[in-house]
Structure 1
Amino acid sequence: MHDTPETDGPMWVFGYGSLIWNPGFTPVETAIATLPGWARSFCMRSIHHRGTPEDPGLVLALDEVADAECHGVAFCVAEPERAHVLAYLRERELVSSAYLETWQQVRLADGREVQAVTYVIDPAHVQYCALALEEQAEIIAYAHGGRGPNHEYLTNTADHLAELGIEDTDLTYLAKRVRSLRDNSLA
């Protein structure tokens, strides 16, 4: 069951990972946005897109943390596209039950506050993990899944956040560390 607000009009989607650089739909508006109470981290083992059941990778998820805030991108979907985009997102994001579809209050860069569909981690799910940055780097450097190498997912996300002026020190560190691990393995 999905907690979908019963509203007409446009729908907002909060992106914090691959949705930033590959939303898969055409928004009518995009805005830098902040989601309070949640932290972006590689806390979900990926057994489909960036890893396999035998050799899981890691993907970003939102972990609930009281004093945290996550900076990402909010995408506005026109009302006629709402049902189609929601169906697409559910097929993409709910491939396993590790993500939960929620509606969160996000603050846009211009000060507006909107309700946005937001996919967060289920901390009780078997794919949830809390790993040190070094262990994350070692997994991300070599894992590969149905949508490609795990390190490309990290690099694309870190690069796009940097282009948007969004600082994420953990992702910046991980991108450098994974590059170093991969370079050393090729030497």
Structure 2
Amino acid sequence: MPRRSNTATCGPTPLRLTAELVARTIKPVEEESPEPNLTPIASEELDGLVRRIEEEAGDQEIWVFAYGSLMWNPGFDVAASENAVASGWHRAFSLKIERFRATSDAPGLMLALLPGGSCSGVVLRVPCATKQQDLHRLMAREIRYSEARDMVRWVSVKTASGSRRALTFWASSERSPLTEKMPLETAANMISQACGPAGSCAEYLHRTVLDLAERNIRDRNLWRLQEMVAAKLNALPER
């Protein structure tokens, strides 16, 4: 990945959550057992998800709507990409985690799509030649537990070249123990404290907001959230 500037702005306000502040949140954390009360998804279930997606796509190209980490770390060789807007959806830190970038002692949050509003992001085309392998890798990354297998769905997005049908990952209302909208203050507290084997939630927020700013995408909630997390980290004594 190319080195990113840490002086991005979103409108007149500079980014407050800097790489230096994020570094304070990083610490070594050993791998733990799976998320409490959740069942790691079996390879057969992943195969079934991929088959279902391929059947639903038919002979059409498969695009993925990226609004968070998939924008800056898609995990597959992107065949093409376009800026896109998903109407009727918005990104929010609503996916509760106790592993990956968090622990049970300091739970964290990751982004998911919630109904309502509008979400600007990017659509990524999955290469036809490696479609099955890429879809399997994508599902294994995003749908880690059986209880979350319905958190992938198709949405309609608008691009400069017209409307597209795209896969995305959302906060299914059927999974309320995993996904729940919460006040920014609560989210900021969790994000500022959570760190796991994959890094910290503050790092995830920083990279996402930085990527959005470089694409000239303004997300007022995330911009306010990074300011709140930065303030909390600034108040901590340096290690």
SS at match of 1:50: coil
Q: How does 1:21-170 map to 2 (within 5 A)?
A: 21-65=72-116, 68-96=117-145, 97-98=147-148, 100-108=151-159, 110-125=160-175, 126-170=177-221
Displacement of 1:186 = 2.2
Q: Rg bigger for which structure?
A: 2
Q: Which amino acid aligns with 2:164?
A: V
Cα offset for 1:20? 0.7
Deviation digits for residues 17-39 of structure 1 (CA, Å, limit 9, x no counterpart): 11011111111111110111111
Identity of aligned residues (%): 32
Query: How far apart, CA to CA, are the structure 2 residues paired with 1:123 and 1:163?
Result: 32
- The TM-score with structure 1 as length reference comes to 0.92
Question: Using the alignment, how far apart are the partners of 2:228 and 2:106 within structure 1?
Answer: 20
For the aligned residues, what is the CA RMSD? 1.6
Task: Work out the CA distance in 1 between the residues paired with 2:73 and 2:100.
Answer: 14
The reply to whether residue 20 of structure 1 matches residue 34 of structure 2 is no
Structure 1 residue 111: Cα displacement? 3.5
Q: What is the deviation of 1:54?
A: 3.8
Question: Does the 8 Å contact 1:9/1:78 carry over to 2?
Answer: no
Rate the CA distance shift 1:6–1:73 in 2: closer, same or farther, 3 A.
closer
Aligned pairs, number = 184
The structure, 1 or 2, with the larger RCO (C-alpha pairs under 8 Å, 6+ apart) is 2
Contact 2:77–2:127 (8 Å) recurs in 1: no
Q: How far does residue 80 in structure 1 lie from its aligned partner after superposition?
A: 1.2
Q: Aligned AA for 2:107?
A: P
